[in-house]
Structure 1
Amino acid sequence: MPVMLGAEPFSADPPGEPGIGVVLSHGFTGTPQSMRPWGEHLAAQGFAVRGPRLPGHGTHWRDMQATRWPDWYGELSRAVDELAARCRSVFVFGLSMGGTLTLRLAEEYGDAIAGICLVNPSVTTLRRDAAFARHLARFWPWASAVANDVAKPGVTELAYDRVPLRAFVSLTELWDVVRADLGRVRQPVLLYRSTADHVVEPVNARLVLDGVSSTDVTEVVLHDSYHVATLDHDAPTIFEGSTAFARRLDAARAGTTSPTPTGTTAGNPA
């Protein structure tokens, strides 16, 4: 199936050798469209940016049925490897399942990843029907959509209108793997959590924050956005805060002083 208009992967490279590289991961059934404004902001700051389209996404929901979480992880891993060959500091930023995959990358790559930024990451669900997904997937291919949870009027997330159940079962398997290894995450963590999220429950952020071994951890609560906060009212908070986060950590690696970020970052650290 052809790629949806607007769902294409994106990349940006500054002139010369970039000091900072960022891989951005969209969420389950979503597309790079949900991450593109963030990527454009980072590119304007002089960062090298990669926004892959995860396999099975951005075409037709049936394409996802043939993919599993190692396929999605592999696409991001290739982007990390590419930037690691060119950049002094590589970061991974992820939304929802993109945050889950980001955590797995941090678990596997260790110090090769300088830090991670998570926006409403998922590592479990409290929905009772999810427990039956594995059985239902044998007889029925899809469930109701989880996309487009945005508070800002006039904004639409480009995503599938239904959940491919076989792919969802694989996501639950990814959750199990990531939760079991959260203690391996030692990199600095910046986590943004929406107070009104109709997709990912608050327990997810608590499991992540309680499970990682990182000593440099910041949680920022977003009061004016739903799940897809990268397209919502609080997007500038995320963009500016993550830029300052990456610059601070890269400066520490380079042995220099991080420049004072321009503007202010809204949101209340929890």
Structure 2
Amino acid sequence: MNSAEIDLGEGDAGFVLGDGPVGILLIHGLTGTPTELRQVAKGLAKAGNCTVYVPTLAGHCGDNSDLQATGWRDWYEGVRKTFVQIKRRHAQVFVGGLSMGAVMSMYVASEHPGQVAGLLMYSTTLKYDGWSINKMAFITPLLIRIPFGVRLFRFTEKPPYGIKNERLRAIVERQMKEGESSEAGLLTMEGVTVRELHWMNAVVKKRMPRINVPALVLHSIEDDITSRWNADYVERHLGGPVTKILLDNCYHMITVDLQYRRVIELSAAFIERHTSAAGCGSVFAEQGFCGGQGCSGEQRGFGVQGCSGEQRGFGVQGCSGEQRGCDVQGSSGEQACPALGGEAAPKPAIAV
């Protein structure tokens, strides 16, 4: 695909895959790189009649001085340019991202009401509260309010680096320690950068009740960086219908870890459900992904036709899919119990 007319950010790490009528914009995480989304982008481009765009955020794929010279509005400005250009090519555009990129996708939707077909939110990071995070991290919001407080701390990645796959983890660790930031991202994040994330999150949280875009929220129950609280918060506060699915057997980097194929499968199903007949739909159905109109529950791979939406993984205690992250390892799609086969769960009342 000729991407000459699409701004993919600084350097040459950004990429475009596929050549279809429906556009998908994926945003990488803070200190991360487009590489962390390549597997999912390849899977979606192969599965459906879509084009996937993954730009590089401002200040990324360099060193810490490059990142510290930028703020969250710089990161967004690059994404905004890419989104506007994608909209000129595609009538329907889905936006998503990993970690901070998931939060950024909500901001894109809030800035462009009625223009985003759906959100693909992977390991949403509204706060660092995973099991590998320093227990003193709770004072971070206080430090960033104190003059020079941001210079008193830095966030340093440590094992398992968001990756349960031991072989992949070893490769990423070597790349980070050898300074291959364009592939593995940065090993450390300075306080000024953490402050930018907090500022962006505060803005997005205020806007969430007014973002009425359908969202797929995927999060690991074993996330070492951000606990499931983050996914639960999105489910409670986002204004549009939310399909939340908890995954097992992976850590924070769900787009590259042991369940990345599941992430592709669930994302393809979600896109199918929220795409018009002129878009990806028929191709996804032919590939065997769920969500095609007229497909039986068994064909959709997400529960037996006739079971209720609650039984298909919409957060009811006792549903094996919900307890197992809607991904029982080793089981077929029909044996698992994910949420995409029925109507979205009703939104709770939100006090604004």
What does residue 249 of structure 1 align with? 274
* Aligned residues of 1:55 and 1:64 also touching (Cα < 8 A): yes
User: Paired residue for 2:288, among 253, 256, 262?
Assistant: 262
Structure scoring higher RCO (CA < 8 A, sep ≥ 6) equals 1
- Within the candidate set 179, 196, 207, 2:233 is matched to 207
Give the fraction of aligned pairs with identical amino acids, expressed as a percent: 25
Match of 1:154 in 2: 167
Counterparts of 1:259 and 1:43, CA distance in 2: 10
2:98 counterpart of 1:95: yes
Match of 1:21 in 2: 23
Structure 2 residue corresponding to 1:37, chosen from 29, 36, 39: 39
Can you list the C-alpha shifts for 1:40-80, whole angstroms capped at 9, x where unaligned? 12222331111011111111122111111111111111121
1:167 to 186, 193, 197: 193
Corresponding residue number in structure 2 for 1:52: 55
Aligned to 1:230: 255
Count of aligned pairs: 261
The structure that has the greater radius of gyration is 2
> What is the letter of the counterpart of residue 94 of structure 1?
G
Kept in 1: contact 2:49–2:283 (CA 8 A)? no
Deviation at 1:190, TM superposition (A): 0.5
CA RMSD of aligned residues (A): 2.5
Alignment of 1:110 onto 2:113:
yes
Question: Equivalent residue for 1:8?
Answer: 13
Counterpart secondary structure, 1:229: coil
Shift of 1:138: 5.0
- Identify the residue that residue 219 of structure 2 maps to in structure 1: 193
AA in 2 matched with 1:210: R
Give the secondary structure class of the aligned counterpart of 1:110. coil
* Number of the residue aligned with 2:315: none
Matched residue SS, 1:168: helix
Distance in 1 of aligned mates of 2:12 and 2:229: 30
Q: Distance in 2 between matches of 1:77 and 1:131?
A: 27
Normalised TM-score (structure 2): 0.68
Q: Secondary structure at the match of 1:181?
A: helix
Tell me how far apart the structure 1 counterparts of residues 52 and 107 of structure 2 sit (CA, whole Å): 19
2:120–2:215: 8 Å Cα contact kept in structure 1? yes
Consecutive aligned runs of 4 or more in structure 1 exceeding 6 Å deviation: none
C-alpha distance in 1, partners of 2:283/2:35?
30
Instruction: Write out per-residue CA displacement over residues 88-109 of structure 1, whole angstroms, 9 at most, x where no aligned residue.
Output: 2100111100001011111221
TM-score (norm 1): 0.87
Deviations 1:150-204 (A, max 9, x none): 0012114512110121111010001100111101211111010100111112221
Q: Distance in 2 between matches of 1:138 and 1:251?
A: 47
Please tell me the residue identity of whatever aligns with 1:169: R
